[in-house]
């Protein structure tokens, strides 16, 4: 196998012009423990140029790999020789990137002309920050904006606080976008901010009663530097950037996986110590200013009862642990809440979610935020992987934003109500 890996690495090195026409996303089906080990080794080879969108964990879960056009034949041959079946999920990544960018340009023009905000479109950081200000102005009786610190590149990090008043009320945390390329999570959070405000204003169930019990804190962009990079880097390919933008020990490989950097069994399974890996955990626990800012904010508040984090893709609703396969003490209740929430979600469009612990449902992941929150006594800790199941992966078309957000809202509302009804 090493020979094939070397061939793939060589081709990736030749592929330096950074054109992505013809990049494929292959869906690979491991059928044995041997297959899983082969795929794991392939993923560990950070020089291969392959971008694992999902990971080899079990024979029940396919592995999606973005393969540069220049490596395509070598990778296909390698998989065939290894008797590992695969199908093509996306046969030209560049086409999707270009279409998405054209849609955004067109939408920005429309928004300028009509002076309105289109929830069915993706927006850059500047536009999202402006949207937040407009929303706060419009609903100043309910919403305030708090700056919780700055990023590595010195951008402000904001949370929206939805509150009907009262000192140190119990609170619910929702964040999105800790992984930069998961654009549907930011877009969903934007829609949610507006929905919570309008439901409150129009006295629509269940928002007034939820906000009677708790404050809601919503962080729409948890990784602003990474998000800006996915929009404004000269190379469309960086649309698929996942990590932060901090400097690492390897000048060629900036960025830390902000969802492996938390003080939750940092350095355990499912996180890499290689700065070039997509799941690089960082040099030390909470080394990343973005993680530290959020952790400090939540700890200094001291009364969070629920922590929810939005990712994509795979359609999963998960609870701790990610660092270990053992059950969390509250697993029965968390599983039941997640199951009911996913049923609520399903009632809108029939979208099917899988429910379980992070470790068993998606992959082992140490240093993740949901574990961190849970280990600090925030019992109702959940991680969502939003749409889809891989047809578009991280490049979900904008015309699915509103339906994704609407169904997600039903699940979030169910969980919020449960939190209010079960004080602890």
Cα separation, 70 vs 48, in Å, equals 11
Considering only residues 374 through 393, tell me which ones interact with Zn ion, judged by CB under 5 A.
none
Assess contact for 321 and 357: CB atoms under 8 A. Answer: yes
Count of residues interacting with Zn ion (CB under 5 A): 2
Q: Fill in the per-residue mask, 33 to 72: x = in contact with Zn ion (CB under 5 A), - = not in contact.
A: ----------------------------------------
Would you say 371 and 323 are in contact if contact means Cβ atoms under 8 Å apart?
A: yes
Question: Which among 146-154, 177-185, 186-194, 356-364 is the span making contact with Zn ion, rule CB under 5 A?
Answer: 177-185
* Binding-site string for Zn ion from residue 189 to residue 208, where x marks contact by CB under 5 A and - marks none: --------------------
Using the minimum distance from each CB to Zn ion, give the nearer residue, 179 or 413. Answer: 179
| Least gap, CB of 162 to Zn ion (angstroms) | 24
Structure token digits, residue 357: 């612990």
Task: Return the structure tokens found at 108.
Answer: 């920005």
**From the CB of 185, what's the least distance to Zn ion, in Å?**
8
90: left (phi over 0), alpha (psi -120 to 50) or beta: beta
Structure tokens at 288: 């990343």
- Among 78-86, 151-159, 209-217, 307-315, the segment contacting Zn ion (CB under 5 A): 307-315
**Residue positions annotated with a catalytic role:** 385
- The region of 13-21, 80-88, 173-181, 347-355 touching Zn ion under the rule CB under 5 A is 173-181
CB environment 271-285: b (16+ within 10 A), e (fewer): bbeebebbbbbbeeb
Rank residues 195 and 311 by Cβ distance to Zn ion and give the closer one: 311
Shortest distance, position 393 Cβ to Zn ion, whole Å: 12
Instruction: Give me the count of residues in the chain.
Output: 424
Which range binds Zn ion by CB under 5 A, 130-138, 149-157, 179-187, 217-225?
179-187
Q: Using CB under 5 A, pick the residue from 179, 245, 281, 305 that binds Zn ion.
A: 179
Q: Which is nearer to Zn ion, 23 or 279 (CB)?
A: 279
> Is 311 among the residues that bind Zn ion (CB under 5 A)?
yes
What is the Cα–Cα distance from 147 to 361, expressed in whole angstroms?
34
* Closest distance of CB 178 from Zn ion, Å: 7
122 — phi, psi (to 5°)? -85, 145
Residue carrying structure tokens 């919503």: 218
Handedness of CA 221, 226, 232, 235 (dihedral sign): negative
To Zn ion, the closest distance from the beta carbon of 6 in angstroms equals 31
CB 268 within 8 A of CB 279: no
**Binding site residues, Zn ion, CB under 5 A:** 179, 311
């Amino acid at each position: 196998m090493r020979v094939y890996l070397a061939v793939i690495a060589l081709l990736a090195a030749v592929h330096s012009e950074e054109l992505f026409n013809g990049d494929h996303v292959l869906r690979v089906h491991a059928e044995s423990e041997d297959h899983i080990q082969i795929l794991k080794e392939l993923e560990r080879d950070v020089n291969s140029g392959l971008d694992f969108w999902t990971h080899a964990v079990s024979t029940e879960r396919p592995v999606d790999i973005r393969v540069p056009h220049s490596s395509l034949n070598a990778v296909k041959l390698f998989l065939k020789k290894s008797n590992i079946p695969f199908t093509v999920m996306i046969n030209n990544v560049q086409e999707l990137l270009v279409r998405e960018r054209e849609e955004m340009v067109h939408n920005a023009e429309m928004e300028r002309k009509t002076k309105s905000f289109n929830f069915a479109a993706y927006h850059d950081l500047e536009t999202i920050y402006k949207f937040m200000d407009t929303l706060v102005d419009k609903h100043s009786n309910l919403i305030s904006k708090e700056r919780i610190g700055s990023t590595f590149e010195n951008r402000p990090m904001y949370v929206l606080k939805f509150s009907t008043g009262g000192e140190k009320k119990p609170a619910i945390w929702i964040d999105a976008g800790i992984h930069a390329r998961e654009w549907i999570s930011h877009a969903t959070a934007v829609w949610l901010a507006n929905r919570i405000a309008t439901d409150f204003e129009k006295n629509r169930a269940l928002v007034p009663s939820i906000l009677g019990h708790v404050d809601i804190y919503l962080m729409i962009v948890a990784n602003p530097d990474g998000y800006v990079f996915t929009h404004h880097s000269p190379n469309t390919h960086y649309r698929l950037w996942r990590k932060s933008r901090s400097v690492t020990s390897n000048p060629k490989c900036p960025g830390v996986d902000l969802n492996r950097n938390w003080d939750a069994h940092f350095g355990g399974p499912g996180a890499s110590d290689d700065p070039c890996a997509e799941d690089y955990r960082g040099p030390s626990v909470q080394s990343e200013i973005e993680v530290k800012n959020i952790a400090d904010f939540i700890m200094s508040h001291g009364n969070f009862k629920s922590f929810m984090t939005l990712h994509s893709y795979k359609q999963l609703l998960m609870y701790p642990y990610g660092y270990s396969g053992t059950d969390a003490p509250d697993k029965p209740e968390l599983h039941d809440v997640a199951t009911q929430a996913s049923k609520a979600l399903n009632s809108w469009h029939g979208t099917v979610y899988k429910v379980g612990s992070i470790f068993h449902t998606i992959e082992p992941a140490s240093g993740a935020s949901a574990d961190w929150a849970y280990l600090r006594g925030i019992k109702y800790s959940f991680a969502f992987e939003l749409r889809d199941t891989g047809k578009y992966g991280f490049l979900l078309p904008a015309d699915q934003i509103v339906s994704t957000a609407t169904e997600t809202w039903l699940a979030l509302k169910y969980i919020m109500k449960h939190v209010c009804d079960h004080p602890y």
